[in-house]
Structure 1
Amino acid sequence: MNDGAPQGWGAQSTDGVRLQKVLANAGVASRRVAEDLIVAGRVRVNGEVVTELGSRIDPENDLVDVDGTAVQLDQSKRYVMLNKPTGVVSSMKDDRGRPDLRRFTQDWDERLYNVGRLDAETSGLLVLTNDGELAHVLAHPSFGVTKVYIAKVDGRVTPQTVQKLVRGVDLEDGPIAADKARLLSASTGSATGREESLVELTLHSGRNRIVRRMMAAVGHPVVELVRRQFGPLHLGTLPAGRARELTKVERGALLTLARSATSSTPAEDAPDTRDGDPSAE
């Protein structure tokens, strides 16, 4: 990402594309409204407020935001939300012949990859994209992107157990604590006749099958697990097995998160996000 002002942009430059045209092409607003946004000081280029209507930028390298929300200028990038069903592995090509993610990417010409993984028996929100830089931020634990899970577990979970999840539990690969945890409900399962609980966990860890291992460690094995949220993205009412492109608002939120994370957190080497990272919850 470009961290400083590009060479040659500004009111007097004849290089690049006029900022109001760039905003209009990105679908932010009409060119006339985009001019009003610029004059009002609501547009920044590479972190600097630009108020001159003659300003030109390089859409391929410069970063633009409006009211603090990132604008997607590279229209070749695709961002897709999938509600992965159970029984599907988080891979674009499974070497064991199991159902994989390729069936969900056929509507897009671009070659999309999953960001991170959910294990085969876990359903919920996966991001598919061809934006490697964004995938780096979303997948790597050093950036602290949170994920929210709903787990149906065996037994009646107590408030004391919820607090233990937040304080931390010891696992074979080291201690781990939920960022947040809360009990949603506890009841007797209609099919099993056994007590079951619904627990919501918020984590930023990328460790393998971490939710299942945490719940097992406190004596409540997972029966069903779904990821409902990934960073600013919410699964909402998207049916299992369906995929859709992110809305303009969702793309803006995701790109804003990525830019903020990379500007404030030193990144370590990222996992290979082309086929998911090594973790699966």
Structure 2
Amino acid sequence: MAETGEQRLQKVLASAGLGSRRASEELIAAGRVTVDGKRAELGVRVDPATAVIHVDGERVITDVRTVHLAFNKPRGVVSSMADEQGRKGLGEFVTAVPERIFHVGRLDTDSEGLLLLTNDGDLAHRLMHPSYEIAKTYRCEVRGPIPMSLGRRLAKGVTLEDGPVTIDDFKVIDEHENRSLIEIVVHEGRKHIVRRLLDEVGHPVFRLVRTRIGAVTLGNLKPGTVRNLRREELGALYKAVGL
């Protein structure tokens, strides 16, 4: 068994942060664990590099080679791992990561905030696919003040040159003289969609920060730094895209 990499399931679960081996055994005995779509039994051995394991319907990542990172992209950084024009790219911030990783979606050079970095191609593809409608939250400093009717107008939909766009949520955070801070939630992935939308309704964006992608929040992550995604964040992301 050693050469195949197989281990007892309770050991794999414990290593993935599900608690002690005893607690993991109790999860298995209670029928709360599936492996490759089938209810797991006590004593089963699995290869953590290939097994698809769920606990209470939530995916548990057991392959230690899989990388999932949250990155706070500073303004001026290009959303590519390396840039042919010599501009600062994402790769300069993850030199300590030995695996080959890539970014999930993009933020334009002038925008800031949350980007996901991973080497999980299936997850990345589904997160970017419009059919899964993964919500993304942005905080934008825009030309103000904001009329009370703007939220309703955005919710009804605004037609851009490449088709209509609607929002999931909108609120005004703060207003000061001729500028306002707003929060907007969309599940669109079209290029510059938030900037184009707000420009169309007469409130050009001065600063844009993405603060959330699905269940993953930017929080207090400092610009230019990365962190590993938490187990509950990963479980929610995989669940949202049916993995």
TM-score normalised by L of structure 1:
0.80
1:206 equivalenced with 2:189 (yes/no): yes
User: Which one of the candidate residues 30, 37, 41 is aligned to 1:40?
Assistant: 30
- The residue identity in structure 1 corresponding to 2:215 is P
| Alignment-mate amino acid for residue 37 of structure 1 | L
For these two proteins, the number of residue pairs brought into alignment is 239
Q: Which residue of 1 aligns with 2:136?
A: 147
| Runs of 4 or more above 4 Å deviation | none
Aligned residue identity for 1:164: R
CA shift, 1:67, in A, is: 2.5
Q: Does 1:158 align with 2:147?
A: yes
The reply to whether residue 106 of structure 1 matches residue 95 of structure 2 is: yes
Q: 1:9 maps to which residue?
A: none
Equivalent residues in 2 for 1:10-159, closer than 5 Å: 17-50=7-40, 52-159=41-148
Aligned-partner SS, 1:99: coil
Give deviations 1:8-39, integer Å, cap 9, x for gaps: xxxxxxx9543212212323222211111111
The alignment partner of 1:92 has SS state of: coil
Asked whether the 8 Å contact 1:19–1:56 carries over to 2, the reply is: yes
CA distance in 2, matches of 1:54, 1:93: 46
Q: CA deviation at 1:207?
A: 0.5
C-alpha RMSD of matched pairs (Å): 1.8
**How far has the Cα of 1:58 moved from its partner?**
4.3
* SS at structure 2 position matched to 1:142: helix
SS in 1 for 2:179: strand
Instruction: Determine the C-alpha separation between the residues in 1 that align with 2:49 and 2:81.
Output: 28
Amino acid at match of 1:34: S
> Which whole-Å CA distance do the structure 1 matches of 2:167 and 2:235 have between them?
27
Question: Is the 1:179–1:204 contact (alpha carbons within 8 Å) kept by the matching residues of 2?
Answer: yes
Alignment gaps of 5+ in structure 2? none
List aligned pairs for 1:167-246, cutoff 5 A.
167-188=156-177, 195-246=178-229
Structure 2 match to 1:249? 232
Percent identity for Structure 1 against Structure 2: 46
**Maintained 8 Å contact 2:132/2:240:** no
Alpha-carbon distance in structure 1 between the residues aligned to 2:227 and 2:6: 33
Give the gaps of 5 or more residues in structure 1.
1-14, 189-194, 263-281
TM-score (norm 2): 0.92
Q: Deviations over 1:221-267 (max 9, x none)?
A: 00110000011100000111111122233233323333x2x5xxxxx
Contact 1:113 1:129 in 2 (8 A): yes
**In structure 1, how many angstroms separate the alpha carbons of the residues matched to 2:132 and 2:166?**
17
The answer (yes or no) to whether the contact 1:122–1:226 under 8 Å persists in 2 is yes
Q: Secondary structure at the match of 1:159?
A: coil
1:51-78: CA deviations, max 9, x gaps? x312333434432122232110211011
CA distance in 2, matches of 1:253, 1:101: 25
Q: Map Cα deviations across residues 87-121 of structure 1 (whole Å, 9 max, x no partner).
A: 11101111111111111111211111111100011
Cα offset for 1:200?
1.1
SS at match of 1:236: coil
TM-aligned CA distance change 1:83 to 1:173, over 3 Å: same
Structure-1 separation of matches of 2:240 and 2:95:
28
Distance 2:16 2:219 in 1: 25
Question: Is 1:88–1:120's contact at 8 Å kept on the other side of the alignment?
Answer: yes
Task: Letter of the 1:232 partner, please give it.
Answer: A
Instruction: Output the CA distance in 1 between the equivalents of 2:6 and 2:89.
Output: 42
